[in-house]
Chains A and B, each alone.
Chain A
Amino acid sequence: MSSEPILSVRNLERRYGSFIACTDVSFDVWPGEVVAIVGESGSGKTTLLNCISGRMERSSGEVRYHMRDGRFPDLEELSEAERRFLARTDWGFVHQNPADGLRMRVSAGANVGERLMAIGQRHYGDIRQTASDWLERVEIASARIDDKPVAFSGGMRQRLQIARNLVTHPRLIFMDEPTGGLDVSVQARVLDLLRMLVADLGLSVVIVTHDLAVARLLSQRMIVMKSGHIVEQGLTDRVLDDPRHPYTQLLVASIPES
């Protein structure tokens, strides 16, 4: 067991005027761990994800990240340039709608290669080769490398977004309902791909989902949110098989037995 969390959240709160989107949120993410944040629409889970990934300002609380150089600063202590560098290299963010995470009018290869150029790679042949390898890894034929994502199906776009995120070997990935917009059959393939990549690369992941089956399949640990508060957290199978809080019991009782 490594002894330091990669991300540490303490007493996080985000208000919109007098409305509290999330409050009193504390948890750690450990290296190689997948943490699922579940809850219904409006429970504050997406706000929480945006705050801990530095995409949205928080009202109060701490979010610390373990940098590659060993520092463990609050994200607010980092300069804008440092934060942007983190977001481009050490982190990934997989959006529910691939169009939010891709550039739809440049080729698939360029979508993947762009992240490599952001970390200083300049050799065209190398970039193209790496992009091609990653397309294969997410099960997109490398012959499609010059096609634009507008010509791709929803599932392919989502797999391309995943490749774009992983090409820089990030350590921490945030995912917002990554399979939410996909047909069930397509969903299974994307989930399976995510599960394998996360295990192979030893990634840490914070994934927001309203789908308990997705949480069961991907995560080791689960955080249940309701009305902006964490109502229960623990091992994923413990929370799902022995839910304690009334709201968690309601969620679990609402899924058909499989």
Chain B
Amino acid sequence: MTVPGPSPTTAPEEPPLPTVVDGPADTPVRPPARRNELLYFALRNPKVVGAMVVIVGLAVLGIVGPMLADHGPNEYAGPTMQPPSAEFWFGTTMFGQDVWVQFVAGLRSTFLVGILGSVVAGAVGMTVGFVAGFRGGWVDELLNMLTNVVLVIPGFVVLIVINMYLGVRSVPMQALYIGLFSWPWVARAVRAQTLSLRAREFVDLARLSGVPTRTIIVREVAPNMYSYLFMTFVLLFGGAILTAASLDFIGLGPTNAVSLGLMMNQAVQWSALHLGMWWWFIPPGLGITLLVGALYIMNVGLDEVFNPKLREM
């Protein structure tokens, strides 16, 4: 399973992302006109719009849903093992908990872990990638080694070990751990992009004028990659959600919060499958599938928006 990434281009360098988005490569950045143009196309792209509707819809559910509920997700709110009804939209669990309330609470923590995890992974990956690509030399070699090692280590299993010993008490901690293992592909991709941008004249100019590396990266290199970086975050978001769900499912997630993975864990543990309590295990998985699917599709749409070549096809 290759993670769907920006459209096909530098296939060789970054396998998870078979392509490189051609940012404002040849023309200098003309901020106002460009941004409006991008927005214009973004709002007219059916994939982007459709996906945004789903994502925002689920987000709203996650934010507003728990607030509107009259009982908590773990409270015993009604009769046990009830199928969906007017009173309990998603029915009740083995213990009489409201599945709907659990669902919207789970959505909340899902979004949280997704955002935090992607921020952590993105920050680490981009820093490593930029510095490695820009500095080159032994710094590059060293960071490459680091990237490759973290890449090869089966992060999921290590996460299990970490969670076992050190315990995960909160969603932010979980997001941190996940982020620390998901950044290698970002570093590789960003490094490749940086390498190609580094050779540009405007960067040479900045270096000659003695601007420090950090400033050059932030002010000259990164702006040319904004679109690419944005799409990277979207992918990281989706990935973090899936990883967190798997960890929760094994029972290694934060136990103080309800999460969609935990719901599935409990459903399976309490024989919901054999008892046919489909309302308990279908919604959480469906929610994740819809959310992550929407994110991926939005990414494809964004690729068309950012990459004019695809647009006119």
Co-complex (A, B): no
Q: Which residues of B contact A (CB under 8 A)?
A: none
Chain A residues within 8 Å of B, Cβ to Cβ: none
